[in-house]
C-alpha cells in the first residue's frame, strides 16, 4: 500500500507541477506580448504628443526644447522626405530605422550599447520615429510577471499537502481492511463485513470472503478426514492385534510361527504408533491448532507425565528423576503434555536398559526451560537440526537401540514449541553422555505463531 500511496502522490504532484509550469510559461509569454503592445501604444501616444508639440512651437523649434518637453529618455526624429527637420540629442543624423521594418510585431534596434523599441508616426508630409530604451521598462515588466507567477509557485507546497491528505484519505479503506485482516486469527474464517467499504474495495472484500469460505470448507474436509482416519485405522489395527495375540497362543514360543507372529505384532505396533503420531502432528499443525492457554505449573505437569510413562521406564529397568521448583507458565495443557510424553518416550526408547533419564525445570525473568537428558547414544551434531524434520530418522533406524519409529516425535515437539513462541535446542549431555534436549517457553501468555 505504501507503493500505491507513493505512486499516486508522485504522479499527482508531477501533473500539478507540469500544469503549473505550462501555465506559468504561457502566462509569461502572454505578459510579454501584452507588455510589448503597451509599449507600442505608449510610443504611439508619445509620437502623437511630439507631433502636437512640433505644431504648437515656433516654426523653427529647437531640438533641445522638444526633448525637454517630451522627456530625455526618448529618442526621436522628424523627417520631411529625406530632410531631417528635428531630432533629439541622442538621435543619429541618419534615419534611425528604415521603412522596410515597419509593420513588424516588435520593432527593435540595437543602438549605443542597448536595445531600443521604436515606432513610426505617419503625419504626411511628416514622418516621425520615436524610440525608448528597453532597459527602462524591462525590469518593471519582469517584476510584474514574477509577481503574477510566484503565487503559482508558492501554492505548490499547499497543493502537495492537500494531495497527500486526499490520497491518504482515499486509501484509508485499504488500511482499514489490512488492519481487520491482521487482527483475524488463523481460526477465524468468518466473512468480512463489506458495508463499510467503497465499491472498489468491496470487490476485494467479496473475493476475500469467497476465499475464506473455500478455506473453511477445505479445513472442514481435512478435520473430517482426520476424524474418519482415526476411527477407520485404529479399529482394524486393534482387531488385528487381538487376532495376532490369539494366534500366538496356539504356537510354542520357540517355533518359527511364533517368531513370525512376533514380527507381525511389532509391525502392527509400529503402524499404530505412526498413525497416532500422524494424527497428533495434524492436530498441532498451525491450521488446526486451537489455542486453549491456561496458567499451569510446568514442574507439576512434568511430574504427572512421568507418572503416566513410569510403567514403560520400569519395564526397561531405567531410572528417571525430576528436579526444579514451581514454574507457572501460560500454555495449552494437552499440547505441552504431548511434548513431555514424546521427549520422555524418546529418551527412554533410545537409552539402554538400566540407563538414566533426568528432567530439570528452571526459570528466569522471561522464560522457563525444560531440560531432558539421557544416558543413551545421543545424536551427532551434523544431524541435530535434521531430526526435527518430519519422517527423518537417524541411520534409517539402524541404531544400537533397535527401536523402530516413524520419525515424527521431534517434529511434533518442534511444531508445538514453535506455536507457543518457544525454542528447542539439541546438544550432548555433559552429565549423562547422551542427548541433552532443552525446551524454552515464555512465561507470559504467548501470541501463537505458525510452526516451522
Local structure of 71: helix, strand or coil = coil
Residue 434 DSSP class: S
Contact 420, 444 (CB under 8 A): no
Domain ranges of the chain: 2-151, 187-283, 291-442
Contact 446, 420 (CB under 8 A): yes
In angstroms, the CA 346 to CA 340 distance is 10
* pLDDT at residue 67, as a whole number: 74
Cell output for 84: 531631417
* pLDDT at residue 399, as a whole number: 44
In angstroms, the CA 300 to CA 326 distance is 7
* pLDDT at residue 412, as a whole number: 77
Say if residue 125 is preceded by a cis peptide, omega within 30 of 0: yes
* pLDDT at residue 124, as a whole number: 85
Which uninterrupted H or E stretch holds 440?
A: strand 435-442
In angstroms, the CA 106 to CA 78 distance is 21
Contact 317, 353 (CB under 8 A): yes
Q: Which CATH class is domain 291-442?
A: alpha beta
Low-confidence stretches of the chain (pLDDT < 70) are 1-2, 59-62, 99-105, 136-137, 186-187, 226-227, 229-231, 234, 251-256, 259, 270, 273-274, 276-292, 384, 386-409, 445-452
* pLDDT at residue 216, as a whole number: 81
Q: Which CATH class is domain 2-151?
A: alpha beta
* pLDDT at residue 397, as a whole number: 47
Amino acid at each position: 500500500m505504501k507503493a500505491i500511496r507513493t505512486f499516486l502522490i508522485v504522479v499527482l504532484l508531477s501533473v500539478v507541477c507540469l500544469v503549473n509550469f505550462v501555465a506559468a510559461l504561457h502566462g509569461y509569454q502572454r505578459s510579454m506580448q501584452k507588455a510589448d503592445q503597451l509599449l507600442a501604444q505608449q510610443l504611439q501616444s508619445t509620437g502623437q504628443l511630439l507631433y502636437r508639440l512640433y505644431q504648437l512651437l515656433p516654426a523653427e523649434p529647437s531640438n533641445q526644447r522638444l526633448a525637454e518637453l517630451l522627456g530625455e529618455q526618448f529618442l526621436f526624429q522628424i523627417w520631411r522626405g529625406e530632410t531631417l527637420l528635428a531630432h533629439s540629442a541622442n538621435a543619429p543624423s541618419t534615419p534611425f530605422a528604415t521603412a522596410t521594418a515597419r509593420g513588424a510585431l516588435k520593432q527593435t534596434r540595437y543602438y549605443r550599447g542597448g536595445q531600443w523599441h521604436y515606432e513610426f508616426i505617419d503625419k504626411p508630409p511628416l514622418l516621425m520615429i520615436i524610440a525608448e530604451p528597453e532597459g527602462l521598462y524591462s525590469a518593471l515588466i519582469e517584476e510584474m510577471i514574477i509577481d503574477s507567477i510566484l503565487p503559482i509557485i508558492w501554492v505548490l507546497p499547499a497543493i502537495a499537502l492537500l494531495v497527500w491528505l486526499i490520497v491518504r484519505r482515499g486509501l484509508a479503506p485499504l488500511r482499514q481492511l489490512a488492519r481487520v485482516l491482521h487482527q483475524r486469527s488463523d481460526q477465524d474464517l468468518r466473512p468480512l463485513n463489506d458495508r463499510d467499504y467503497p465499491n472498489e474495495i468491496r470487490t476485494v472484500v467479496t473475493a476475500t470472503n469467497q476465499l475464506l469460505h473455500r478455506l473453511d470448507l477445505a479445513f472442514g474436509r481435512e478435520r473430517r478426514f482426520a476424524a474418519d482416519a482415526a476411527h477407520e485405522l485404529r479399529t482394524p489395527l486393534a482387531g488385528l492385534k487381538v487376532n495376532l495375540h490369539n494366534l500366538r497362543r496356539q504356537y510354542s514360543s520357540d517355533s518359527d510361527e511364533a517368531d513370525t507372529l512376533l514380527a507381525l505384532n511389532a509391525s502392527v505396533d509400529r503402524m499404530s504408533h505412526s498413525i497416532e503420531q500422524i494424527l497428533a502432528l495434524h492436530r498441532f499443525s498451525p491450521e488446526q491448532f486451537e489455542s486453549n492457554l491456561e496458567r499451569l505449573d510446568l514442574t507439576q505437569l512434568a511430574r504427572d507425565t512421568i507418572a503416566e510413562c513410569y510403567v514403560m521406564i520400569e519395564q526397561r529397568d531405567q531410572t528417571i528423576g525430576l528436579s526444579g521448583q514451581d514454574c507457572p507458565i501460560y500454555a495449552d495443557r494437552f499440547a505441552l503434555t504431548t511434548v513431555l510424553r514424546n521427549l520422555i518416550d524418546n529418551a527412554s526408547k533410545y537409552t539402554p536398559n538400566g540407563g538414566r533419564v533426568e528432567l530439570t525445570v528452571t526459570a528466569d525473568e522471561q522464560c522457563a526451560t525444560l531440560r531432558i537428558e539421557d544416558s543413551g547414544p545421543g545424536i551427532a551434531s551434523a544431524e541435530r537440526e535434521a531430526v526435527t524434520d518430519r519422517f527423518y530418522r537417524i541411520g534409517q533406524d539402524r541404531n544400537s537401540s533397535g527401536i523402530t519409529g516413524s520419525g515424527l516425535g521431534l517434529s511434533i515437539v518442534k511444531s508445538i514449541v514453535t506455536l507457543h513462541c518457544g525454542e528447542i535446542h539439541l546438544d550432548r549431555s555433559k552429565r549423562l553422555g547422551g542427548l541433552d534436549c532443552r525446551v524454552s517457553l515464555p512465561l507470559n501468555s504467548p501470541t501463537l505463531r505458525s510452526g516451522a
